[in-house]
Structure 1
C-alpha cells in the first residue's frame, strides 16, 4: 500500500479501484476566435482538462471555473467548453533548437535543463498527454535559446542577481521561491543536473533576484499574498498535491505562505493558494478509492486526499506499465540499488501502475505515503512530488536504499518497506509481512 505505511497494507490490485484505465487519444482543438479571447472547445474521447489546458495555454483551474465544473476530473465526449485565452492549435512554435533524447530522459528534466516548460515542449513536438519520449528521438526545444544537451546555460552575470549559501534542508524550489525566481532559472544559472541537487554550504548564483524573501510565517505576513483561494490542510495532504489540484506550483504555495525549505504543513492549517479559483473542499461524489481494506477503515481526510490524488493521476496521463518498469530499473541502477529488488517491490506494490492509490493514500508505482515521501525528499536532498512518475520512483528507490543499508539482512529491509522499520524491530514480522517478503523474493528471481 505504501512505503512504511500503517498496517494493514494493500497491494496494487486492492488499491487501484475503478477507473484506473484511462483511454488516451490525440487531442484536436476545435476552437474559434483568436489568441487572447475565449474560444469554444468540443471535448473528444481521451481528452482531460489537463491536456486541454496544456494545448491552449491556460490552466485547469481557469477552465473549471469558467465552465462551473463541479468535478474538474470528469469531462465527457461532445461537451462544449469555453476555453479562456485559447491560442489557435495551428500556431507555429517559438523558434528554438533541436535536442536528441537520451536514455533516462524525461520531458520535465529536458524542459528544466533548457529553461522552458513541459507544456511548451509538448506543444512544440505534438506529444500526447503522457508526454512520452524515447531514446534517439529528436525534439524541438521552443524558446529564444534552447540550450545544449550536455550542459545548461552558464551562470554569467545575472541581471540584478545575487548569491546564496545553501543551508541544511534547503531545496532549489524553496530557494527560488524565497528569492522571487524560478527553479529552471536557478538550475540553468548554476549548471545543476536534472535532479536539481544542492548541498549545504554550496554557493548558488540567484539570477534576477532581489533581496531574499523571509522564510518565516511571521515575516511573510508583511508581504500581501497573491490573490487566490483559502484551503484547509487535511490529513495526508502535501504541498505538491495541493498545488497540482489547484493548478498552481509548489514554489507559489511556499512563497505565499512563508513555508520553510521542507514545505512542511499540518492538518488544519489554513493556506493561501495563489492564483487558484476557490474550489469546494467536500469529498467528490464519485469515490475512485474506497475507505477500507483488510478490515481497517481509514479516516475521511486520508481517503479524501487519496481520491484527489487518484483523480489528478488519471487526469494527467500516466506512463505505461512497461515505461514505469523501465524507469524503476534505470533509477535503481543509477542509485546503487539492485534493479531486481526495486522491480520486485514495484510489481508487488502496484504492478507498475502509476495511477494506483490506496485507501491509506499510498501513491503511484512505488506506493509511497506522503510522510514517507518527505523522508525520501530529505534522503535525496530535494523536494519530491509523489504524483510525478520520476519522483515517485526516486522516492521508493531512495527508501529501499536506506533500508538495505540499515537493516540486518535483505528480508528485514523488504519487511521494513512494507511494515515500517520501527515496527519490524519492535514486533517482528507480522504474518502478512512474511507473505509480502516471500512474494518479493520470488519476484526478484523473475527480474534478476
Structure 2
C-alpha cells in the first residue's frame, strides 16, 4: 500500500468516532453535501456523484486528493459538476490543457478574467494546472476562435483573418463595449448589427446577448465590404473607420495602423495557430 494511502486510511480510522454526530447535523435532503465516512475515497465519491475528482478537490480546497478525513463535509457541485462546456445554458466547465493560461481561457470563451475568478476558487490567477476544471459562466457551444472560424468558412473568408480582426477589435471579449457603443467580439454597433440582420443575413441579430450572432454580424459585414471595395485593406479600413467616412475623408493614419495590425495578427495566427500573447 502506498504511503499516502496508508496515511489516508489511518486518518479516516481515527476520526470515525465523530461520524455519527456529524451525520445527525446534516439536514435531510441536503444532496449538495457529502459527509465522508471511513473507507471513502475522493475518487469513489466523485464516481457516486458524477463529478470530476479534480473539481471536487478544487471546490473543497483539497490539496492532496489522497488525503481526506472521516467527518469532513464535501460540497458537491450541482448535477455533480460534470456538465461539459456548452451543454447547459448558464455554465460549463473547461479542462485546463498544457500551455493554457486563465487569461487565455477567459478570452477563448468571451468572458472576463474577473468573472472566472469570481466563480472559481483560484488564489493565484497565474497558477492553474493541467487537468484542472474551470467553471465558465455562459459558456457557448463552441469557443470564440471556433465560432470565428465557422462563420468565416460560411462566407468563404480566411478564418485567420476573421480571428485577427476580432482579436484586434476586442481581444475576443464579448463584454467589451467601445466608447461609441460598438459591442462584443467583433465590435459591431447596434445600427450596423440591425442593418446586417435586415439586408445581409435576413433575420434579427442579437449582437449583445449572442456571441454567435455578434460574430455572424461582423463576418457578414466584412464580406460585404470586401465585395464592395474590391480590396481587403480598404475593406478592413472601412470596417474600422466606417465606409462613409472612408469615402468622404480617405483612410486616417490611425486606421492605416489598424489595418496593418490586423494583417500582422493574421499572419501570426496562420503560423502559430493562436494570436500574439495567447500562448
TM-score range, shorter chain: 0.3 to 0.5
Question: Which has the higher relative contact order, 1 or 2, with Cα contacts under 8 A spaced 6 or more apart?
Answer: 1
Find the structure with the greater CA-based Rg: 2
Counting helix residues as a fraction of each chain, which structure ranks higher?
Answer: 2
